[in-house]
Structure 1
Amino acid sequence: MNETAEQAGPAAGTGLDPAAVVRLRLVIARLHRQLAQASDRQDFTFAQLSALARIEQHGPIRLGELAALERVAAPSMTRTVAPLVASRLVSRVPDPEDGRSALVELSPEGVELFADTRQRRSEVLARRTAGLTAQERELLIDALPVLERLVASEG
């Protein structure tokens, strides 16, 4: 389906024209899908893989803190993490500061899966960027701080 700027909705206050917003959103979505397809394990959702990444980065971590980082409600995070625990990719460990609470951390299997997923996806990007010109690679590197700001920004 070809989406027009009118179908995309308003881009008020974005500083980008609606057609550019559409292009940016579509390229990010397509790149994400292609990277997801690079993983053999398609039985995990984006939310689960994102939670694994946050747990790796910040763990051991309370589910409430993880939910806040992922900008979802605590019950949603509980539903996201439950299959990861059941698959033994994430372990629950006692919270040393509060014996009534638990923390989640990557299990050795989770560390292995996540490292494998990261490697496969990085290989896809490395192959793709190798086909770019030196100038295109430089432009891409220069755009990284802007893309990182987009990811970090609220709303």
Structure 2
Amino acid sequence: MKKTTVTDNDHENVQALAENLRDTIGKFVRAVRCQAGTPTTAQGETLAFLERNGPASIATLAENRGVKHQSMRLVIAKLEENSLITQTPDPKDGRSQLITLTRKGQAENATARKARTLWLSEVLSTRMSARERTLLGEALPILQKITGLD
């Protein structure tokens, strides 16, 4: 296998690409959420995490969001008040509770996801050419590779 040598110039180009990609994707995510009327919140992100990963402890949820346990307890209390989650004893640790999405919580996630998809579909069909949509489709495997979803 041929060994590649990274020059200082290559390194600078990669750093610039990484910064531009990070900035652009961040703006993209914020724009989709904002324009679709589903702005990010601690509650929304917690519901999405539970949907992706299944039941979790408050400690796990706090760690995922990078907040203190007490802060996550406030988020969980609000979600429970709105019947979006339930708490049940953790069978592996009787001192801990597992947080689980309710059907209402699942529906809330689905509604937000649908709103974002509809807004993005509208933008792609009205503001992008067929060629631009093709290019975006071709770039998805690269982005998936970066995020480990491939």
- The alignment's TM-score, normalised by the length of structure 1, stands at 0.68
Matched, 1:87 2:85: no
62, 65, 77: which one pairs with 1:67? 62
Alignment of 1:2-41 (within 5 A): 15-16=15-16, 21=20, 25=23, 28-29=26-27, 31-39=29-37
Q: Which has the higher helix share?
A: 2
**Matched residues, number:** 136
Uncovered stretches (5+) of structure 2, i.e. residues with no partner:
1-11
Query: What amino acid does structure 2 have at the position aligned with 1:36?
Result: C
- 4+ runs deviating over 6 angstroms: 149-152
RMSD: 3.0
The answer (yes or no) to whether the contact 2:57–2:99 under 8 Å persists in 1 is: yes
130, 135, 140: which one pairs with 2:131? 135
SS at match of 1:16: helix
C-alpha displacement of 1:70: 2.7
Q: 1:110: which partner in 2? A: 105
Uncovered stretches (5+) of structure 1, i.e. residues with no partner:
1-11
Larger Rg: 2
- The alignment's TM-score, normalised by the length of structure 2, stands at 0.70
C-alpha displacement of 1:102: 0.5
SS at match of 2:98: strand
52, 58, 62: which one pairs with 1:57? 52
The answer (yes or no) to whether the contact 1:35–1:124 under 8 Å persists in 2 is: no
Q: Percent identity?
A: 30
Counterpart CA distance in 2 for 1:36 and 1:58 is 25
The answer (yes or no) to whether the contact 1:90–1:105 under 8 Å persists in 2 is: yes
Distance 1:150 1:117, change over 3 A: same
Query: What amino acid does structure 2 have at the position aligned with 1:96?
Result: P
Matched, 1:47 2:45: no
